[in-house]
Amino acid sequence: MPQISPLVAGDPGQLGSFRLVGRVGEGGQGIVYLGVTDEGEQAAIKLLHVKFSGDTIARSRFARELKAAQRVASFCTARVIEADLDGDTPYIASEYIDGRALRDIVDDDGPLRGTALDRLAIGTATALTAIHHASIVHRDFKPDNVLIAADGPRVVDFGIARIIDSSGTITSRAIGTPAYMAPEQIAGDDVGPYTDVFAWGAVIAFAATGETVFEGNSIAVVLNRILNHEVDVSMLPEPLRGVVRSALSKSPDERPSADQILLRLLGQPETVGASTAVLTRGVQVASDDTTPFIRVPAGTLGTGSPSKAQLMHPPEQSSVTGGEPIPWATGSTSPPRGILDERPAASATDPRPLAPRGRRAGWVALVAAILLIAAASVVAVQNNWLQLALGGNPSPHPAPPNSFTSVADKVAQTKKIVIGVKGDLPGVSLERDGGFEGFDIELAKLVAAQLGAKQTQFVRIPKFEREKALEDGTVDLVIATYSIDKSGVEFAGPYYVAHHDLLVSDGASIESIDDLEGKKICAPNSPSVGNVQARVKVELVTATDYAQCMDLLRSSKVDAVPGEDIMLAGFASRENQRFKILGAKLNDERYAIGIKHGDVKTCKAANGIIAELYRKGVVKSLLARHFANVDFTPELETPSMVSCG
């Protein structure tokens, strides 16, 4: 976790939309601040040194490139949020990643091995593929620009490299990171995606060995080693060894593209570019440290993206309703317009094939076959198939709930899950006609399916029984507008950040909370009432519940109903009359998934699933579906996940 130090004299207090609250660090490029918007969104704000700002023409070019950087899909990257290169204080605001730099991890804890190294390689290859698909070249890929967060590796600073390179000289460009330059950079030749690929190979070699592979006691020595030294990658396992060796080829023409690296590391054919399904799989593998990584058979990603639980098990159908899978959620068909902001499955930016391996390819195929057989054996044991094959009888009863160390393990083995829900909120979680419906319910089904559940049972859990129900195993998870608090449970998420707000008639002349001065508001038992009173003088009309509040608002006996925005939207959506959420955002409520205290494995898995549902636009689709009849602007940005454990 980055250490945030206080601001010092001379530091700006505001940059763009962000109020600066501390210093993250300082380097040759500029000073990095932690910034926060009025809505609570955090960002890493890099204030560039004036010497890098360039002339008017250069700034215009940089601005165009930054706009492209803002379009980079959020696959293992820290997205660019905001930038200003026209003023006297040029800055770039990127998504704040609460994680450690890869360099610090390797320096402090030693080289990465096994699954951790696999996930690093796949996550960073995924990020570079997304960056290259947006026609961006990072130009400064190095261990310092790879952050390891709770949801896996993230590549940062891909929006600033061209700015830093504005002087056009090796000396200014190489200071601090000459060891990760490619031969063509040294020679002054054109740079491109292949330049990032070379740096990627050097970074993975550093992570695996703990040594900078082109180290030297002077820049001249370093540059000579880059041009003439062959890196020993014999300590790496295949296929990583072959991929890194090819990436470190001195000639750009002999290097694979980022697409090809990712496809090969995932065990997929390299004949076409990486599709969105492949990028999604890369994110899932990189963000899941709860199960060993086994490559899926070639071709399986063309029809969908495996879930986290499926990394160790055969593909299962995932569904919102528990029946047929959702085609657009698995990638098998195009999504309805507006559901996913999905890029076309473009071919690789630089589609050069990997160098042929001859007989080695046969050995790799044999090893892959052995791994698949081993994986199938694991599944067979878990499903008692092996006992049947040997003539024995399978265990007639699944293990009792308390025998599992985590919900993720239980679901992986039993394919069943029990989820506690609220059940009395229209549009959010409502029990009706013997079943449950609403935003929380559909989101819960998606989370359950991604954990590997084939059977999901919902039960109503009163607020005061949630913690006990989780502790004694009555329910596995609680998804019930459960606000993160200091109770003795583990929280994953938040899956939605709600705001204390106000519901008013769509035709009313009320545009802000100030317009409620002296007016009547409904007063149910909700802290939202006090939040309103703290801002404006109003007349309270008491009510027993929100159903009564809606009656009062519909009949114009009150002017507004205070409450948490998504709950208000749920009540309003079922009305014939049009209503709107005012957008006052008086306070936040972070709705999270409640898990039994100490179940870090399930917490991390759920965090990854929630983040992916936001990245793919699924949450946006669910919110639009359930609250379409009310003028409501919900939060659509991926929430900042709580730490597990």
Give me the residue label for tokens 């207090």.
13
Taking alpha carbons only, the member of 187, 262, 1, 238 closest to residue 108 is 1
CA–CA separation, 242 and 352 (whole Å): 15
With residues binned 3-state (H G I as helix, E B as strand, rest as coil), the percentages for the chain, rounded to 5, are 40, 20, 40
CA–CA separation, 535 and 531 (whole Å): 7
Catalytic residue among 140, 157, 501, 559: 140
- B/e letters for 502-521, b = 16+ CB within 10 Å, e = fewer, are bbbbeebebeebebbeebbb
Bridge partners of 45, per DSSP, are 33, 93
Q: What would the two tokens of residue 520 be?
A: 């009547």
88 catalytically annotated: no
CA–CA separation, 274 and 493 (whole Å): 29
Give me the residue label for tokens 């696999």.
118
Region class of 430: left (phi > 0), else alpha (psi between -120 and 50), else beta: beta
CA–CA separation, 560 and 510 (whole Å): 9
Q: Collect all residues with Cβ–Cβ distance below 8 Å to 640 and sequence separation of at least 6.
A: 42, 96, 98
DSSP for 199-236 reads HHHHHHHHHHHSS-TT--SSHHHHHHHHHHPPP--TTS
CA–CA separation, 59 and 217 (whole Å): 35
Per-residue CA distances from 575 to 196, 427, 547, 572, 627 (Å)? 55, 11, 11, 5, 11
Given a contact cutoff of 8 angstroms between Cβ atoms, the answer to whether 197 and 354 are in contact is no
CA-based R_g, the chain, Å: 27
Q: How far does CA 634 lie from the centroid of its chain?
A: 19
- Residues with catalytic function: 140
